Amino acid sequence: MSGAPLRVLLLTGDWKWTGPAEPMLELAAGLRQRGHEVALACPEAPEPGARNVADEARARGLAPRLRFAPGRGVRPLGDAGDARRLRELLGAEGFDVLHSFHTRDHALALRAAGFAPARRRAAVVRFWRKGEPIPAAPWSRWLLGPGADGLHCVSPGVAERCRALRGGRATRGWFGAVDVERFTPRPPDPAVREALGLRPEDRVVGIVARVQPHRRFDLLLEAAAELFARDPRARLLVVGRGTRRAELAEVPARRLGIEGRVVFAGYRSVDYAEVLRCIDLFTFLVPGSDGTCRALLEAAACGIPAVTTRRGALPEIVVDGETGVLADEKPASLADAWAALLADGDRRRSLGTAARKRAESHFTRARLAEEIEALYREARR
C-alpha cells in the first residue's frame, strides 16, 4: 500500500446478485487485504430465498453498514430518506471515498457528498460497467464527468476511450477479479460430464451467459451448426438461465436440427466450477451486465482457452494467438476457430496454460485492489 489507509464506502442500489456484484465484493476483499477500511451500503432483499448482495456480503464478513430501500432509477423524492441517512453516515464516519456501482447509488453519493466537486466531503468514484465509451447525452456527460471525481472502467482500453469526456479527471481501468484458488486447472469430473449427458469422447465448446436477445444466441447456434457438420464429436454446452431460453435458444436449435448436440445446463451455483471444467474450449460473443466478463476470467483461471469476438473488453482479456483466438462475428469465422482448436489438443493446452498465467497476473483481487487504490488516491487530489 502506498500512503495512509483509506476509508471506503461501496454503494449499490441493486439488491440482486447480478453481474457487477461479485467483482464489487472481490474488490472489497482486496482492499481490506491492503489495509483499507471498507464498508458497504446496499438494499436488503425484498423477498426471502433470492440470492442477494447483502447476504453474500455478510457471508464474506462485510455486513452492510447502511441499508437502502429497494428501488431502481434516480428518485429525487423517493430517495430523500436514503440520501439523508447516507449524509449522516458520511458525517459520522468520515469516509474518504464513496464508490458507486449504479446510477441510483451514484446520485445518492452526490446528494450526500455534494454536487460541486470543490464542496465534496469525500471523493465520488463511479464504476462504468460497460465496454463502450461514455454516451454523449448531456446527463451522461455530466454524471460521468464532473459528477465523478474518479471513473473506474472495466479495462485499460475502455478507460482510454472514456478519457475524452472526462476533462482530465481521474480515470482508470482494470479487469475484474476472480477467485483463482477456486477456479484452478483440474481435469473434469467424469461424473459431472456424464450427468450433463456428455460422453468421454465429446469435445465441448462452452458458453456461460444469460439467454437474452443481445447475447447473440442466433450467431452462436448458427456457428455451432457449421461446426457440427464438420466434427461429429463436437458438442455445445450452454450454462445460464433466461426466461426466453425456449424462444431464443431451444426452438432455434431444433429448427437447425442440432438439438441433440446442444446441452442446456441451466444456472449452476455449488457445482459451477466443476461444470466449467467440463468445457474444452470456452466462447464468448457479447458482454452481459458485467462488462468485466467474469465467466471468461473464470474460464481463463481454469486454464481453458477461449474464442471470442472483439466486443467491449474481450480483445483485452483474450490475447489473440496467446491465450485464445479473436474471431469475426460470423458463423463461419467462429466455426473455423472452434474447429481448429478442437482438432489440436497441444495448441489448446498451450493456450490454456497461458490463459491461467494471465489470470494469475491480471485477474486477481490483489491486482484489482492495487489498481483501484491508485484511482482513489488520484481522485482525492
CATH at 304: 3.40.50.2000
**How much is the pLDDT for 319?**
98
- Cα-trace Rg, the chain: 22
User: For the chain, what is the domain count?
Assistant: 2
Same domain, yes or no: 283 and 263:
yes
Q: Is 176 exposed, middle or buried (0-12, 13-18, 19+ CB in 10 A)?
A: buried
Do strands 66-68 and 150-153 pair parallel, antiparallel, or not at all (unpaired)? unpaired
Same domain assignment for residues 115 and 210: no
pLDDT the model gives residue 159: 97
The answer to whether residues 79 and 219 belong to one domain is no
Grid coordinates representing 275 are 461444470
pLDDT digits (tens, 9 = 90+) for 248-283: 999 999 999 999 999 999 999 899 999 999 999 999
Q: Tell whether 214 is covered by a domain.
A: yes
Evaluate whether residue 86 is within a structural domain: yes
User: Which residue is it, cell 495448441?
Assistant: 347
Average pLDDT value for residue range 201-225:
96
Q: Please state, for a pLDDT cut of 70, what percent of the chain lies above it.
A: 100
Q: Are residues 74 and 145 in the same domain?
A: yes
Instruction: For residue 185, tell me if it sits in a domain.
Output: no
Question: Is residue 211 located within the same domain as residue 64?
Answer: no
Looking at residue 197, its pLDDT comes to 96
Q: Which of 127, 168, 161, 122 is nearest to 145 (CA)?
A: 168
Q: Is residue 49 part of a domain?
A: yes
Q: Give the lowest-confidence range in 74-78, 234-238, 280-284, 362-366.
A: 74-78
Q: What is the mean pLDDT of residues 142-162?
A: 96
**Per-residue pLDDT, 1:** 63
pLDDT of residue 198: 97
Mean per-residue pLDDT over the chain, rounded = 94
CA angle (188, 243, 256) in 5-degree steps: 70
Mean pLDDT of 61-73: 92
Q: How far apart are CA 280 and CA 264, in angstroms?
A: 16
Note whether residue 1 is domain-resident: no
| Residue 127 sits in the same domain as residue 168 | yes
| Among the listed residues 245, 181, 183, the one whose alpha carbon sits nearest the alpha carbon of residue 217 | 245
Q: For residue range 306-320, what is the model confidence (pLDDT) as tens digits? A: 999 999 999 999 999
d(CA 228, CA 188): 22
Confidence tier at 220 by pLDDT (50, 70, 90): very high
One domain, residues 122 and 213: no
Cα–Cα distance, 206 to 279 (Å, whole number): 5
Cell numbers standing for residue 138 = 448531456
Partners of 55 in the β-ladder: none
Full 3-state SS string of the chain: CCCCCCEEEEECCCCECCCCHHHHHHHHHHHHHCCCEEEEEEECCCCCCCCEHHHHHHHCCCCCCEEECCCCCCCCCCCHHHHHHHHHHHHHHCCCEEEECCHHHHHHHHHHHCCCHHHCCCEEEEEECCCCCCCCCHHHHHHCCCCCCEEEECCHHHHHHHHHHCCCCEEEECCCCCCCCCCCCCCCCHHHHHHCCCCCCCEEEEEECCCCHHHCHHHHHHHHHHHHHHCCCEEEEEECCCCCHHHHHHHHHHHCCCHHHEEEEECCCCCHHHHHCCCCEEEECCCCCCCCCHHHHHHHHCCCCEEECCCCCHHHHCCECCCEEECCCCHHHHHHHHHHHHCCHHHHHHHHHHHHHHHHHHCCHHHHHHHHHHHHHHHCC
pLDDT value of position 77? 83
pLDDT band at 205 (very low <50, low <70, confident <90, very high): very high
Residues 156 and 263 in one domain: no
Residues 99 and 198 in one domain: no
Q: Which of 338, 190, 184 is closest to 261 using CA atoms?
A: 338
Least confident residue range of 87-101, 118-132, 231-245, 290-304: 118-132
| Residue 135 sits in the same domain as residue 266 | no
Q: Are residues 369 and 358 in the same domain?
A: no
Q: Which three cell numbers stand for residue 132?
A: 463502450
Examine the domain organization and report whether 161 and 235 are in the same domain.
no
Q: Is residue 105 part of a domain?
A: yes
Angle at 314 between CA 23 and CA 261, to 5 degrees: 95
59 domain residue, yes or no: yes
Asked whether residue 184 is assigned to any structural domain, the reply reads no
Domain of residue 96 covers 7-177+364-379
